[in-house]
Amino acid sequence: MPVKPVHLAAHFPGVNNTTVWSDPASGSQIDFASFAHLARTAERGKFDFLFLAEGLRLRELKGRIHNLDVAGRPESLTVLSALSAVTARLGLAATVNSTFNEPYEVARRLATLDHLSEGRAAWNVVTSWDEFTGENFRRGGYLDEADRYGRAAEFLHTARELWDSWAPGDLVTDPGAGVFARPGSGAFAHRGRQFDIAGRFNVPRGPQGHPVIIQAGDSPQGREFAAADADVIFSRHGTLEDGRAFYKDVKSRLARYGRRRDELKIMPAVTYVLGDNEADAAERAAEIRRRQVGPQTAIAYLEGHWGRDLSAYDPDGPLPDVEPDLGEGVSQGRAQFRGDRGETVRRWRALAAERGLTIRELVIEATGRQTFVGTPASVADQIDTFVQTDAADGFVFVPHLTPGGLDDLVEHVVPLLQEKGVFRADYTGPTLRDHLGLQAPRTPRAARTPRKVS
């Protein structure tokens, strides 16, 4: 069996406690130089793409702005467009919310990025339902949670109609003949439950036809959405066993949409720590975890799950005996406290009792442990094993430091993957679709909006 190629992506450090800001090597989360550093590092490592997340409202805890984690980030597409000037091949992936945007604008901004970057644009389609974020938008947060995948699917479908409204060749630009564009270029009409729009799209077809579509959702609806219409799916399954189960499930969904197994790439988000030997790496990993979960952050985590003020508790003491308040909760703007909090509290108490852990030790143990910890050789082996045994097609690496957090991965691990022959030694094509081994999108000309020709 031929080896599967590994795909690699770089995640700009997030606005959460994975990102360590107290380290002396921690730089600005907003200066363009930080983005340029990470993008250039990723391109030096021949990564498929750089990824930017999005959150359209600052997180809150107990009704006040969360002040313990890194906060503040730019608008994704704007900074990616600027990054296209300092990179030549790296894919550029933006998270853009389908709840607080309109298809016409999102489609034209992504098509613009695809033109300006010469075919390197990608869109991570996310949905939001919360009125909390909606308070920042004139349309508000009206969406029912049940409707969110319906809206996302129709939003993406509509965007594809807009990208297809200019066919290859519609842009003529023949000064002698005096023809700039073919008649009817950009004509579209979409009548659906979420959107009822018609007119003329004003960006010609981009180099990739359609940008690469990314979906990050683990629910059955999210998996189905990805199987139907995405090119890449992010997951959080960072163990071999979970990864294989997810991989098998998602890939098995593709056939019913007439898609081949290699038309959707599965890329878990992962963290890593390198050391000179295994013990050194483990020690570094533990130190990073201590920095990620400071005393105040440990209490904040507990408050998120308990749904009440626990500021009087000692982070170096035992877990609170007070029962959780399972009502509305105290955390806003974070997905992770939306699950079954009662169940989490029971599990954490059991773990703490069994191991004799303090609050801080418990949170360090129970949240966000690094995926890959080891020497460059062992991490390269783990990456290769995940991919060759169908637990992933590649990974989105989430560094804990801005902006140098992937420097050692690119310097020490990528060459080993290249030596194994499982990762490209250089880019083989200009577009992100080329990097991911994806074909051009189908453009059923016959299915296009009938054109009015004058």
Partner 1 sequence: MTGLHLSAALNDAGWHPAAWRDPAARPAGLFTARYWTDLATEAERGLLDFVTIDDSLGLQSSGPTVPDDRTDQVRGRLDAVLVAARIAPATERIGLVPATITTHTEPFHVAIGIASLDHASRGRAGWQPRVGARLSDAAHFGRRAFPDLDRPWSATAEGAALGAELFGEAGDVVEVVRRLWDSWEDDAEIRDAATGRFLDRDKVHYIDFEGARFSVRGPSITPRPPQGQPLVTALACGVRSYEFAARGADVVFVTPRSRADAFAVVAQIREAERTVRRSGEPLRILADLVVFLDEAPGAAVSRKARLDDLDGAPLDSDAEIFTGTPGELADLLLDWRNAGLDGFRLRPGVLPSDLAGITRGLVPVLQERGAFRTGYQAATLRGHLGLARPANRYAAT
Q: Cα(137)–Cα(101) distance, rounded to whole angstroms?
A: 9
Element (H, E) at 110: helix 103-116
115 binds partner 1 (CB under 8 A): yes
Residues between 244 and 283 with contacts to partner 1, criterion CB under 8 A: none
Q: How far is the CB of 365 from partner 1 (least distance, A)?
A: 19
330 binds partner 1 (CB under 8 A): no
Residue from 3, 25, 88, 179 touching partner 1 (CB under 8 A): that is: 179
Is 235 annotated to bind a ligand? Reply is no
Residue from 1, 193, 196, 279 touching partner 1 (CB under 8 A): that is: 196
Is 101 exposed, middle or buried (CB count within 10 Å of its CB: 0-12, 13-18, 19+)?
A: middle
* Tokens at 338, concatenated: 């939306």
166 binds partner 1 (CB under 8 A): yes
Residue from 119, 204, 243, 324 touching partner 1 (CB under 8 A): that is: 204
Element (H, E) at 200: strand 196-200
Pick the closer one to partner 1 by CB: 199 or 429: 199
Beta bridge partners of 396: 9, 269
Angle, helix 359-366 to helix 278-292, in steps of 10 degrees: 120
Q: Cα(104)–Cα(258) distance, rounded to whole angstroms?
A: 28
* Cα dist from 361 to 291, 294, 298, 419, whole Å: 12, 10, 8, 39
Pick the closer one to partner 1 by CB: 135 or 419: 135
Q: How far is the CB of 354 from partner 1 (least distance, A)?
A: 28
Is 301 annotated to bind a ligand? Reply is no
Q: Cα(200)–Cα(382) distance, rounded to whole angstroms?
A: 50
Angle, helix 376-388 to helix 240-252, in steps of 10 degrees: 30
* Tokens at 202, concatenated: 């004003």
Among the candidate windows 110-118, 268-276, 347-355, 416-424, which touches partner 1 by CB under 8 A? 110-118
Q: How far is the CB of 202 from partner 1 (least distance, A)?
A: 5
Q: Cα(223)–Cα(22) distance, rounded to whole angstroms?
A: 37
Residue from 13, 14, 45, 55 touching partner 1 (CB under 8 A): that is: 55
74 binds partner 1 (CB under 8 A): yes
Number of residues that bind partner 1 (CB under 8 A): 78
Q: Cα(151)–Cα(123) distance, rounded to whole angstroms?
A: 16
Residue from 8, 70, 270, 357 touching partner 1 (CB under 8 A): that is: 70
Q: How far is the CB of 63 from partner 1 (least distance, A)?
A: 11
Is 219 annotated to bind a ligand? Reply is yes
What is the number of alpha carbons within 13 Å of residue 177 lying toward its C-beta? 7
98 binds partner 1 (CB under 8 A): no
Q: Cα(393)–Cα(231) distance, rounded to whole angstroms?
A: 12
Q: Cα(297)–Cα(289) distance, rounded to whole angstroms?
A: 11
Among the candidate windows 179-187, 235-243, 405-413, 434-442, which touches partner 1 by CB under 8 A? 179-187
Pick the closer one to partner 1 by CB: 19 or 382: 19
142 binds partner 1 (CB under 8 A): no
Pick the closer one to partner 1 by CB: 29 or 371: 29
Q: How far is the CB of 302 from partner 1 (least distance, A)?
A: 14
Among the candidate windows 31-39, 224-232, 270-278, 301-309, which touches partner 1 by CB under 8 A? 31-39
450 binds partner 1 (CB under 8 A): no
Long-range contacts, 332-338 (Cβ 8 Å, 24+) = 332/57, 332/59, 332/60, 332/61, 332/130, 332/132, 333/55, 333/57, 333/58, 333/59, 333/60, 333/66, 333/130, 333/132, 333/133, 334/16, 334/59, 334/304, 336/304, 337/304, 337/305
Residues between 388 and 407 with contacts to partner 1, criterion CB under 8 A: none
167 binds partner 1 (CB under 8 A): no
Pick the closer one to partner 1 by CB: 203 or 409: 203
112 binds partner 1 (CB under 8 A): yes
R_g of the chain computed on alpha carbons:
23
36 binds partner 1 (CB under 8 A): yes
294 binds partner 1 (CB under 8 A): yes
Q: Which residues are annotated as a binding site for FMN?
A: 95, 149, 219
